[in-house]
């Protein structure tokens, strides 16, 4: 069995990866992919994609003026897409090394998947042109038509994933409702599943056949291209967030931490932690014991959580009592009992930690579905904390992950608006060009 440093991920079986803490001498042999968090000081830039896009646009303009064969144009576009995908994957890895808890992590991975679909679509266009004895203008029309409908094509390509994912959401939600009761919040997974499948069905049946004047057909295509662009964006966000959360959940922080923040999430009526909160505490305790056994260094626990209007005590106090019952010395516990949200958990905990040790190495413990978004909050308050995820019931995780995804969509609205707006403008222009220029 091949072992790697902390931060490293080794593949023992296809589709599975594990983490180990060992010496350099044990890293020989085997296939390894190093995803080292917080090892870069500079944010990765993607100006190379912008420069390449401008150069490609100029080249395509010249080729169009010279009436270059469409198959050659399609080949240039295919090469461009392939290079951009490589650039995005490289930026994705660098982003993990700089700051894994970032929207850029989601955007790079989601956009790379979409461009892979666009590349396959472009190769399909080349295949059609090569197999068909059509004129140059007809070939150009075919090529541009394939590009103009790329968002719709992506939706069809991703249909198997959407169906499997939606069925899994419904199964987990039905089990959740049986265990936790019928509440609107417990229906989020089913609602998302119906929206995903309904969107695919709407596109397929609405776009299956259309007739009328050229203007009517253009308006029809424009509507469905815009619908597909919206769907495409949110699906890329969904897939990107799934990828990002899987990576940060599987990541094991280095065993050198000074402080471990435990994020509160509600307590029982008697003031004891709920199973969900107990899982977070146990995860932190396990990490602390492993670190102390390995390095002799005992981290300080920061119990972070205020008192709700329906709670008999603060979440922080409940966590402290739980830790004391498990033999953790009170000198090793720091209470933060004012926070009412994840952002405040990180903000107020940072103030307490900075007052004692501004250069402290920090990790936080939360439930697996909450690791990525919690990391976003930590970085927002300028704290380079690394997360660890506690397991939860199989039927609870998918619905909770949907809530986290909805939460992600409500943040960074300007950045998301710019990306979505750019996609909409692109498909509007492409549709108009296809019908009014070519």
pLDDT one-digit tens code per residue, 357-395: 999 999 999 999 999 999 999 999 999 999 999 988 887
Q: What is the pLDDT of residues 40-64, one digit of tens each?
A: 888 998 999 999 989 988 988 888 7
By percentage, how much of the chain surpasses pLDDT 70? 86
* pLDDT top residue among 99 and 71: 99
- What pLDDT is recorded for position 326? 92
Residue 101 is encoded by which pair of tokens? Answer: 């808890």
Report whether pLDDT(21) > 60. no
Mean pLDDT of 401-412: 79
In DSSP terms, which residues pair with 13 in a beta bridge?
16
Domain segments of the chain as ranges: 1-34, 47-250+412-436, 259-360
Number of CB atoms found within 10 A of residue 148's CB: 22
Is the CA virtual torsion 53, 55, 58, 63 positive or negative? Answer: negative
pLDDT of residue 98: 93
Half-sphere CA count of 37, side-chain side, radius 13 A: 25
CA angle 138-140-145, nearest 5°? 95
Mean of pLDDT values over 237-246:
88
**Interatomic CA distance for residues 87 and 78, integer angstroms:** 14
pLDDT cut 90: percent of the chain above it: 41
| CATH code, residues 259-360 | 3.40.50.620
Query: pLDDT band for position 308 (50/70/90)?
Result: confident
Token output for 135: 């004129």
65: enclosing H helix or E strand: helix 47-65
pLDDT tens-place string over residues 81-137:
999 999 999 999 999 999 999 989 998 998 898 888 888 888 877 877 777 655 554
Distance CA 259, CA 261 (A): 6
Closest CA to 320 of 277, 360, 256, 291: 277
pLDDT band at 33 (very low <50, low <70, confident <90, very high): very low
What is the per-residue pLDDT across 132-145, written as a single tens digit (0 to 9) for each?
655 554 555 555 66
Average pLDDT score, the chain = 82
In tens, the pLDDT along 210-236 reads 677 778 888 888 888 888 888 888 888
Looking at per-residue pLDDT, the higher value among 271 and 396 belongs to 271
Least confident of 101-110, 118-127, 266-275, 290-299: 118-127
The Cβ of residue 436 has, within 10 Å, a number of other Cβ atoms equal to 10
CA-CA distance, 367 to 371, in Å (whole number)?
A: 7
């Amino acid at each position: 069995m091949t072992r790697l440093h902390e931060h490293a991920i080794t593949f023992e079986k296809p589709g599975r990866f594990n983490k180990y803490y060992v010496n350099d001498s044990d890293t020989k042999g085997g296939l390894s992919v190093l995803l080292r968090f917080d090892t870069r000081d500079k944010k990765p830039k993607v100006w190379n994609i912008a420069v390449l896009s401008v150069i490609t646009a100029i080249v395509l303009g010249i080729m169009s003026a010279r009436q270059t064969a469409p198959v050659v144009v399609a080949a240039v576009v295919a090469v461009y897409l392939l290079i951009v995908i490589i650039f995005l994957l490289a930026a994705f890895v660098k982003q993990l090394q700089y700051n894994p808890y970032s929207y850029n992590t989601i955007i790079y991975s989601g956009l790379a998947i979409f461009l892979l679909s666009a590349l396959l679509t472009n190769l399909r266009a080349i295949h059609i042109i090569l197999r068909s004895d059509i004129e140059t203008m007809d070939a150009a029309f075919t090529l541009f038509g394939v590009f103009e409908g790329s968002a719709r094509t992506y939706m069809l390509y991703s249909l198997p994933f959407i169906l499997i994912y939606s069925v899994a959401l419904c199964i987990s939600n039905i089990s959740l409702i049986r265990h936790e009761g019928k509440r609107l919040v417990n229906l989020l997974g089913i609602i998302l599943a119906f929206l995903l499948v309904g969107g695919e069905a709407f596109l397929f049946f609405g776009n299956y056949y259309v007739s009328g004047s050229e203007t009517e057909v253009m308006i029809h295509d424009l509507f469905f291209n815009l619908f597909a662009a919206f769907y495409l964006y949110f699906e890329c966000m969904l897939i990107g967030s799934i990828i990002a959360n899987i990576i940060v959940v599987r990541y094991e922080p280095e065993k050198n931490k000074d402080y471990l923040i435990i994020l509160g999430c509600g307590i029982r009526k008697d003031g004891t932690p709920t199973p969900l909160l107990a899982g977070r505490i146990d995860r932190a305790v396990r990490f602390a014991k492993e670190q102390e056994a390995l390095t002799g260094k005992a981290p300080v626990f920061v119990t972070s959580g205020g008192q709700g209007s329906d709670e008999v005590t603060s979440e922080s106090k409940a966590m402290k009592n739980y830790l004391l019952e498990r033999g953790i010395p009170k000198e090793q516990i720091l209470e933060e009992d004012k926070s009412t949200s994840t952002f405040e958990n990180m903000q107020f905990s940072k103030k307490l930690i900075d007052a004692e040790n501004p250069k402290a190495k920090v990790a936080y413990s939360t439930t697996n579905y909450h690791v990525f978004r919690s990391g976003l909050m930590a970085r927002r308050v300028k704290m380079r904390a690394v997360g660890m995820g506690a397991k939860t019931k199989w039927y609870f995780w998918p619905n909770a992950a949907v809530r986290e995804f909805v939460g992600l969509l409500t943040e960074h609205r300007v950045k998301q608006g710019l990306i979505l707006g750019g996609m909409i403008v692109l498909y509007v222009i492409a549709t108009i060009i296809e019908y009014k220029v070519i």
